[in-house]
A = this chain, B = another copy of it.
Amino acid sequence: MRAACYPPDGLKPLQIKKISTQHPTESAWDRLVRLVASVWPDDGQVNCIGVAAPGPTDPFQGVLFEAPNIPAWVNVPLASLLQERFGVPVTMGNDANLAALGEWKYGAGKGHHHLVYLTVSTGIGSGIIVDDRLLLGTRGLAAELGHITVLPDGPMCGCGQKGHLEALASGPSIARWVTEQITDGVPSSLSRLTVVTTKLVAEAAKSGDILALQAINRAGTFVGQALADVLHIFNPTIVIIGGGVSQSGELLMDPIRTAMQRHVMNTHYLDNLILTTAALGDDTGLLGALAMVRHQP
């Protein structure tokens, strides 16, 4: 988890700290409180706290429904807990939604009115700007593009359903597919490993390993298929790809572009469309939360 203290203007934090979420004896809540306290400014002047929550979130009630990496957090009213603890207003949003907001205000999507942000990482999350507003839906659960069905009866998704995009194109899905292919006897420089990770697949792909290249290509193809749906649904001017897997650059972006073109119903959807990687780096969550407290109505 990360925390930062920002001045009223500008994007340069006064204080910034990062600690691991997991700890053998300390609870995630205690770690969060200590982390926030550690970036509190010396003059004590804080207008509000913005939280980018790592899971499905009701931003209206400030409730985190679940956090895949913190099993103890189920239906946690995180906003009111923090507000009580620190005595300042707290607003909260889902991390992928806020990453979209950050890219829109400070990053690759500046000036666009219709924007789609997709993060391809351990999971696949997204955030969507419709007509200069963040798409939230009735309880803030909108914009879960990772759970579009791209292959009916395909592999099981972390959510328990089959064939969702996340089950075919997230980092772990890529590593799992490579492992299966190696088990089936497909040759690869990765076959000598006991555990195949997404990062090693990305490195092998960059070194020209055919299986690794196929794996990234396959993931990009599913992403592009889902994004064609998304173009038909939102008719945006920009699609931004973030997350660890996007660091494979053109190896991922090229099959995304090809599949998008292949599935789109007509070229009007591609007119003047920008497809690009995210501009904000590791602090995208912090900058997204900053964008929320500064710019949201």
* Chain A residues within CB distance 8 Å of chain B: 56, 65, 113-114, 128, 130-131, 133, 135-145, 147-152, 157, 159-161, 164, 225, 228-230, 232-237, 262-266, 268-269, 271
Give the shortest distance, in Å, between A68 (CB) and chain B (any CB). 12
- The distance in angstroms between the C-alpha atoms of A28 and B276, with both chains bound, is 43
Residues of B within 8 A of A150 (CB): 149, 152
Selected A-B contacts with CB under 8 Å, 15 pairs: A114-B142, A128-B233, A130-B130, A136-B235, A138-B235, A142-B233, A143-B233, A144-B232, A144-B265, A145-B233, A149-B228, A149-B229, A160-B265, A161-B263, A229-B229
CA distance A264 to B136 in the complex (A): 17
> With a CB–CB cut-off of 8 A, which chain B residues contact A152?
150-151, 225
Given that A149-B150, A149-B263, A161-B264 are known contacts, is A269 also in contact with B232, CB under 8 Å in the complex?
no
Name the residue of chain B whose CB is nearest to the CB of A126: B233
Q: Is the CB of B149 within 8 A of A225?
A: yes
Question: Are B139 and A268 neighbours in the complex by a CB distance under 8 Å?
Answer: yes
A269 closest partner in B (C-beta): B141
Contact across chains for A113 and B138 when beta carbons are under 8 A apart: yes
The minimal Cβ–Cβ distance linking A99 to chain B, given in whole angstroms, is 17
Q: Is the CB of B233 within 8 A of A265?
A: no
How many copies of the chain does the oligomer comprise? Answer: 2
Q: Select A133's contact among B114, B131, B235, beta carbons within 8 Å.
A: B131
List chain B residues, Cβ under 8 A from A271: 139
The distance in angstroms between the C-alpha atoms of A187 and B147, with both chains bound, is 38
Contacts of A144 in B (CB 8 A): 232-233, 265
B262 touches A161 (CB 8 A): yes
Given contacts A136-B235, A145-B233, 16 further A-B contacts (CB under 8 A): A114-B137, A128-B233, A135-B234, A137-B236, A139-B271, A141-B269, A142-B232, A143-B233, A144-B232, A147-B229, A148-B229, A148-B232, A149-B229, A151-B152, A164-B265, A233-B233
Q: Which residues of B contact A228 (CB under 8 A)?
A: 149
Give the Cβ gap from A62 to chain B, nearest Cβ, in Å.
16
Cα distance, A233 to B143, chains bound together (Å) = 4
| Residues in B neighbouring A147, C-beta threshold 8 A | 229, 232, 265
Q: With A113-B138, A135-B234, A236-B137 known to touch, is A268 a contact of B56 (CB < 8 Å)? A: yes
Report the separation of the CA atoms of residues A113 and B142 in the bound assembly, to the nearest whole angstrom. Answer: 13
A70-B135 Cα distance, complex, nearest whole Å: 35
Contacts of A65 in B (CB 8 A): 268
Asked if A236 and B161 make an inter-chain contact with CB atoms under 8 angstroms apart, the answer reads no
Of the candidates B136, B143, B233, B262, which one forms a contact with A148 in the assembled complex, judged by CB atoms under 8 Å apart? B233
